[in-house]
Every structure is written in C-alpha cells, then in structure tokens.
Amino acid sequence: MPLWAEKGQFPLDGLSWLPRGLILAALGVLAALGQAPIDLWWMTLLALLLGFALIPCTGSARAFWHGWALGVGYFAVSLRWIVSPFLVHIEKDGWMAPFALILMAGGFALFWGAAAVATQRLTRWHWLGLPLALTLAEALRALILTGFPWALLGHALVPTPYAQLAAYGGPFLLTVLLAGVAAAIATRRLLIAGPAVVVTVAAWPLLMLPAAPDVAEDAPTVRLIQPNAPQEQKWDPVMSQVFFERMLDYTHADAAPDLVVWPESAIAMLLNYADDTLEQMSEAARGSPVIVGVNREENGLYYNSFVHLERGGQIAGFYDKQHLVPFGEYIPGGDLLHQVGIRGFGSSYGGGFTAGSGQRTLNIPGIGAIRPLICYEGIFAEEVGGTDVRPAAMILITNDAWFGKDAGPFQHLAQARLRAIEQGLPMVRVANTGVSAMIDAQGRIRGKIALNTAGYLDVALPPAAPPTVYSRFGDWPLLALLILAMTVLTWRTRQIKVDPVQTGA
C-alpha cells in the first residue's frame, strides 16, 4: 500500500516538480543532522518518516526524482567536509571544492533514487520494500568501485544504545532498523506503527550499557601522541621539525608507558632515510615499543606504512595500507596508463601509492596481536575482520587534518567507535590533529585528546570482549536476508497482480 494513503493520494501533487524536490531536499538536510558532530539521531528518524511519507508510490520517474532529492539534501550536509582537502592550498585547488561536493551529493543520491524506483516497481508493500531497498542501495554504495561507506544512515545511531546491535549485523543492521521504523510510522496505521514504536522504545533501556568498568591494574598503558600539525604546515621543512620535536618531548614525558603511538605520516621523510630519526624516537621512548606512520619506498614503489619500532630504533614489523583513497593516494587506472607510456602521479611508479598485501596483524610485546589500520581503512566494516588470529586490539593511525575542523574528524571518530562494537575489540585511535581516543570494546570512549589540540594521553588498554556475531560472519548473512525479503515481496506482488480474484478479471 502507498505510504501516504490507501488511494494513493500524494500531498504534493498540486506542486510542480521543483517545489516538490526542494521540500524533499530540505528533509534530507534535516536527516543529515543525525550525523556527528550534531548527533540529533531523532531528527534523522523524523525527517525520514516525513520523507518516506512524501515519496510517491506511482510513476518511476516521479519516485526517482523524489528519492534523489531526499538523498541530495542528506549527502550535501553530511559530506560537507569533503571540500576541506581542496582548501588546504586554496589558491591552487579551491575552485574544485564546490564541484566535489556537488558531484558527491548528486552521485550518491542516485542510489536513493534507484531505491525509490525499485520499491515502486517491485513491491506492493512499500512500507516494507522502501527500507529494504534503501539499505541494499547503501550497501552497494559501500561496496562498488572500492566503496565509500561514509555517512550511512545507521551511523546516526552510534551515540545511542542501539549501536550495540552492530555487534550482530554491523552498520547495515542499524540502517535497516532506522529506515524500517521510519517507514512503519509513516504508514499512519496503528497495527504497523504501534508495534514499531513500542519495540523501539522498549529496546532503549535493554541495550543501555552500564558505567564502564575499571580496567585491570596490570592492563598495558598506551600513550597517544597528537602533535596537531595543520596540513598546510605538515610538510614545511621548518615546521615539520617543530612537530617532530614536539612528539619526541611527549614521548619522553613522565614514566614510560607500555606502548607509544604516533599518528599517520608523522615523519616528514621516507622510512628508507630515517635511521637516525627512528633511533631518536626509540631513545625518547626509553625502550617502550613505538608505532609510527611513515611513507616508504621499495623497488620504485611507494607505500603508506604503519611501522613497529623496538629498542634502538630497529624495525620489528610493518604494515602497508591496503585500501587506498581513490584520487587521493592513487588514480584508478593509473598503472594501466603507465604501461602505455602515460607516466605521472596516477601510477605506482609515478609518485602514487601502491596498496600493500600480506598478513594484517602485528605482534606488539606486552600487548599481543594487534590489527593495524591506516586512516581510510577504518571506515570499511567488512574489511577490518578476517585476520589470521583474533587480535587483542585495533590500532588506527590517521591524519584527519585533511577533513577540516567540523564534521569530518567527528564522523571518522564515530565510525571507529562502531568498528570497536562490531569486532568486540578496543580501538586505539591516534590522529595528527585529533580526535585521538581510546575506545573500549563496547564503543565507549575511555579517554581522548580534543580536536586541534597538541598533547599526549596515557590510558589503560581495555580488554577485548568475546568474538561477536559480526566478527565471525560479517555483512553477508544480513544482506542475504534483505535480498531474500525483497525477492519474496516482489514475487508476492506479482502473484497478486496476476490473480484474477485480486484483479477482478
């Protein structure tokens, strides 16, 4: 049945296509207020409820336009930070900033438009079909063309007790629940909306976490180092030395911890030429192991690396970033162009980064096995697990200076909290400009250094929880269930259409 009324009446029918689209886009803007740092999750629910009620259930073109307009408003606000990298060197790159936001918002909104069309064409029960189709569309956005699972609808629930459900079904379980409740209430039918509201309200206290327990006295202490190096100064020869000495001072301060963690690309030189620098770092750490982000070169290829240093500045192990940022760390197809003689930044041999491979855990004395992650890798829930052994913790190093000073760093932090819940593992997150944080296995922040603040923080490493359902099986069981449900709705709809009793033939 249509979401708005049984006879299919549509309250915006008297308006032309532009005012209708603007109303839906405004609701998308309101839906985006649930994302960090604003965190008005209930606003996302309310805006989706109204938006779903206004999406027409007849006419594919009309359904696509309204779904797309809702998505444009949502992505334009939730991804507003995407302009920040182009403002670092504004005189050269600033002109691209508005185009980046327009293309991102308009492009990702296509998935929402497609979900509205699929609902209109395939299902009779739109209040069930729309949440399913929208969640599957978000899954496609997260997976195809290397994926971009940022600002998923379910991320609005990270500050709420419902985030704990991610341990069972990851971010797409949160997405389908949020969209499903909104669609159920939008039907205005008591038999559908009533149970949805009752179950949602009742689940809140059941999922609430108790106060975080004290960490064991013998738990290892980790020192988070945050130099607060603005991106426009990070590679300046004079300022990079200032930031390096600042990190050395933080590393040497107070009693030596069990582990020191520096952020991504903390050293302004290639690892190949950093022997003296690594030795200084090790001396400052007084024998404690050090994690540091640094670029390295091997056989003419460049890698964004996560390096484990032991006493004397010796490299005990390293991990090369495996999921690179398209158009930021490499140009898709760049290596193919190199083979035909077009050489430049886009290829691995032209200055772009090469994706790493191999095992995805490192063993840190006093800590155990850890899962290293570098920046962008932390947003891919399905790629964090699947390690050779279950780690004791995840350590994510990042340079969020690229993301600006508003939404980007806080949304990245929210996703780190979700990864901890999904895997049942603590997350050590160290960012160049912040927010650096220790996150426990239930997603609670145990200590943090504020954004755009230089400093260090010693914090005990919380214990790992038992393996979660999501850590064992990932996204595929839930996605398979959603596809099956959508298939059943489509099959049942077609049966009704051809049934002579139902059609009155």
Residue 502 has pLDDT above 50, yes or no: no
Q: Is the dihedral of CA 321, 324, 330, 333 positive or negative?
A: positive
Q: Which helix (H) or strand (E) holds 315?
A: strand 314-320
CB atoms within 10 A of CB 352: 20
Nearest to 141 by CA among 156, 152, 154: 152
Query: Quick check: 37 and 407 in contact, CB under 8 A?
Result: yes
Mean pLDDT over residues 397-412, rounded? 92
**Is 448 marked active-site?**
no
Out of 57, 138, 375, 377, pick the active-site residue. Answer: 375
Q: What is the set of domains in the chain, with CATH numbers?
A: 17-208+475-503 (no CATH), 221-322+357-463 (3.60.110.10)
**Is 234 marked active-site?**
no
Rg of the Cα trace of the chain? 24
Out of 57, 138, 234, 264, pick the active-site residue. Answer: 264
Mean pLDDT over residues 62-87, rounded? 94
Residue 213 has pLDDT above 70, yes or no: yes
- At residue 10 the predicted structure's pLDDT band, cuts being 50, 70 and 90, is low
CA–CA dist 259, 285 (Å, integer) = 9
Residue 462 has pLDDT above 70, yes or no: yes
Q: Is the dihedral of CA 307, 310, 315, 318 positive or negative?
A: negative
Tell me what pLDDT residue 118 has. Answer: 93
In percent, the amount of the chain with pLDDT more than 90 equals: 71
What value does the mean pLDDT of the chain take? 90
**Is 321 marked active-site?**
yes
SS3 readout for 54-123: HCCCCCHHHHHHHHHHHHHHHHHHHCHHHHHHHHCCHHHHHHHHHHHHHHHHHHHHHHHHHHHHHHHHHC
Q: Which helix (H) or strand (E) holds 159?
A: none
- At residue 194 the predicted structure's pLDDT band, cuts being 50, 70 and 90, is confident
427-431, strands of its sheet edge to edge: 362-364, 368-374, 393-398, 427-431, 436-439, 445-449
CA–CA dist 438, 427 (Å, integer) = 6
Give the least confident one: 243-247, 337-341, 381-385: 337-341
Query: Quick check: 416 and 430 in contact, CB under 8 A?
Result: no
Question: What is the β-pairing status of strands 314-320 and 362-364?
Answer: unpaired
- At residue 314 the predicted structure's pLDDT band, cuts being 50, 70 and 90, is very high
pLDDT digits (tens, 9 = 90+) for 92-123: 888 998 999 999 999 999 999 999 999 988 88
Mean pLDDT over residues 333-355, rounded? 58
CA–CA dist 132, 110 (Å, integer) = 16
Out of 57, 138, 234, 321, pick the active-site residue. Answer: 321
pLDDT digits (tens, 9 = 90+) for 259-313: 999 999 999 999 999 999 999 999 999 999 999 999 999 999 999 999 999 988 8
Query: Quick check: 286 and 256 in contact, CB under 8 A?
Result: yes
Residue 378 has pLDDT above 80, yes or no: yes
Tell me what pLDDT residue 346 has. Answer: 47
Residue 501 has pLDDT above 90, yes or no: no
Tell me what pLDDT residue 7 has. Answer: 43
pLDDT digits (tens, 9 = 90+) for 124-156: 888 899 999 999 999 999 999 889 999 999 999
Query: Quick check: 453 and 228 in contact, CB under 8 A?
Result: yes
CA–CA dist 175, 156 (Å, integer) = 9
**Amino acid occupying residue 362:** L
List the beta strands (DSSP E) in 218-257: 221-226
CA 314 to chain centre: 33
Q: Which helix (H) or strand (E) holds 241?
A: helix 237-252
Tell me what pLDDT residue 57 has. Answer: 64
pTM of the model: 0.92
